[in-house]
Amino acid sequence: MDNKKIILASKSPRRQELVKELNFEFEIRSNKDVEEIYPDLLDPYKVPEYLAALKSSPIISSLSENEILLTSDTIVLFQNQILGKPKSKEEGIKMLKTLSGKTHEVITGVQLKDINKTISFSSITKVFFKHLTDEEISFYIEKHNPLDKAGSYAIQEWIGYIGVSKIEGCYYNVMGLPLHDIYKKLKKHFYKD
């Protein structure tokens, strides 16, 4: 694993912390905000990979021989509808009421890219929410203000502690990076012994 560096194109503190825990040498490189727009008719399951690829485009030309670019995007999918980041506390409350007592999917699309190859994949985790009371939802929205989070929640915050009854799949995927899958793909495609 020597002589290679991960270039993480993300401003997310959660993603930065997760990549740090993989113990690869890495740096943050984000030169501009990418407008996260995707084609209306794109299959929702393909949206995260599409957006991960979009995020890599401004940085590709800056890669050197020993660097691997990592970009990702995470969506919350409920009944084939993408729940993005809420634009207001009211919208956040509405999203959590929608997810309350039901199951949804969290899908993270990842792109790993060096100057020779590109590997893209998605990871899916099913998340089961207990029934959330109006008081629990309001408390969470006021206390944590999750307007920067898809689906209006973070599993590693209070709402995850009290509201998520079960998951099927990778916990870290719900946080924004499927670490197991990323490590496996890096080892297979970029760090061959």
Please answer whether residues 140 and 153 qualify as being in contact, where contact means their C-beta atoms are separated by less than 8 angstroms: yes
DSSP 106: E
Rounded to whole angstroms, how far apart are CA atoms 25 and 27?
Answer: 7
Half-sphere exposure of 20 (CA within 13 A, CB side): 8
Active-site residues: which are they? 73
Element (H, E) at 55: helix 47-56
